[in-house]
Amino acid sequence: MADPQSPMVEINGLEFTYPGIDGHPPPGSTPLIQDFSLSLFPGDRCLLVGANGAGKTTILKILGGKLMVEPHMVRVLGRSAFHDTNLTSSGDMCYLGGEWKRDVAFAGFEVSIQIDVSAEKMIFGVGGVDPARRAELIKVLDIDLSWRMHKVSDGQRRRVQICMGLLKPFKVLLLDEITVDLDVLGRADLLKFLIKECEERGAIVIYATHIFDGLENWPTHIVYVARGKLQLSLPMEKVKEMSNLSLMVSPPTAPHPLRLKFKYNTRLLVS
C-alpha cells in the first residue's frame, strides 16, 4: 500500500493551450486550462464534473501523458506524465476514454476496434496478468469470452475495452465517460470493483462523467471545473455536511446551469 501522506497525483499551477497548426499555441491566446492545482492521495476516488467544453477531457489527457506540459506542472506517482512513458507501459497508470481505436498504417489515422476476433483472444492476449484478477474482471464485467468483436454491441465492446485496461493492477486510473455505454447493473458492478481497488490497494481513480445516478456513495472527492479553472474541490464528507445547503457557484439564472443533486440534498448550482 502506498504512503497515505504522499500525493499520487500532483497538479501544480497547470496551464495548457492546444497548439495551432504550426505546433505552437496561437500568439496571445488565453490558456484553455489556467492556474489549476490539485493533489490526490492513495485511496482517493475523484469525480470530475463540469459542463461540456469545461476542460475535463483535456485535464485527463494531460494526466494520461497524451498532451505535453512542463514536467513540474503534473506529477503522477512522482513522475512526469508526458515524459515518462514507463508510467503507462508498466500499467501503473491507465487512461480509458473516448472511442476504442487502433492506429493503422497512416500516421495519426485510427479505426474502431471491430475486427473479427474473439473477446477471449483479446483479453488473454494481454501478457503478465494475474489469472485470478483476469477471472474476476471477466465476471464483474459479465463478458462472454466467445463474443466476436465485429458483431458485439457498443456496450459489450466497451466492457472488453475496460477489462483489458484494468487487467494490470493500476495505481492511477483515469476514466473519461467510459461507462456511458454500460447498462445500469454493469456500471454499478464496475464502480463497486473500483471502490475495492482503492480501499484495498490504495489505488486512485479520477472519473469524469455527466451521469450522476448511483454515484452518491462512490466518490471521496468532487472536483468541479469551469472554463479550464478549478472552481471547487470538496471532500465528500463536506458535501454530506452541507445537508440542506445550496451552494451557488453562479446564479441559478445562468444559462445551462449544471445541477448536481445528491441524496444529501446538497445542490451545487454551477454554470
Ligand X SMILES: Nc1ncnc2c1ncn2[C@@H]1O[C@H](COP(=O)(O)OP(=O)(O)OP(=O)(O)O)[C@@H](O)[C@H]1O
List contacts with ligand X (CB under 6 A).
Answer: 18, 32, 50, 52-58
Nearer to ligand X, 57 or 118 (CB): 57
107 vs 269: CA distance, rounded Å: 43
Closest separation between CB of residue 51 and ligand X, Å? 7
Q: What are 4's three cell numbers?
A: 497515505
In sequence order, the β-bridge partners of residue 105 are: none
Nearer to ligand X, 54 or 119 (CB): 54
Distance of CA 255 to the CA centre of its chain: 27
**221-226 and 45-49 beta bridge pairing:** parallel
Closest separation between CB of residue 57 and ligand X, Å? 3
Closest separation between CB of residue 240 and ligand X, Å? 26
Nearer to ligand X, 18 or 112 (CB): 18
Nearer to ligand X, 147 or 224 (CB): 224
112 vs 160: CA distance, rounded Å: 13
Nearer to ligand X, 18 or 241 (CB): 18
DSSP string, 79-138: EETTT-THHHHTTSEEEEES--EEE-SSTT-EEES--S-BHHHHHHTS-S--HHHHHHHH
Closest separation between CB of residue 200 and ligand X, Å? 30
Distance of CA 155 to the CA centre of its chain: 18
Nearer to ligand X, 32 or 242 (CB): 32
Biggest distance spanned by C-alpha atoms of the chain: 56
Identity of the residue numbered 104: V
Closest separation between CB of residue 185 and ligand X, Å? 25
Closest separation between CB of residue 158 and ligand X, Å? 16
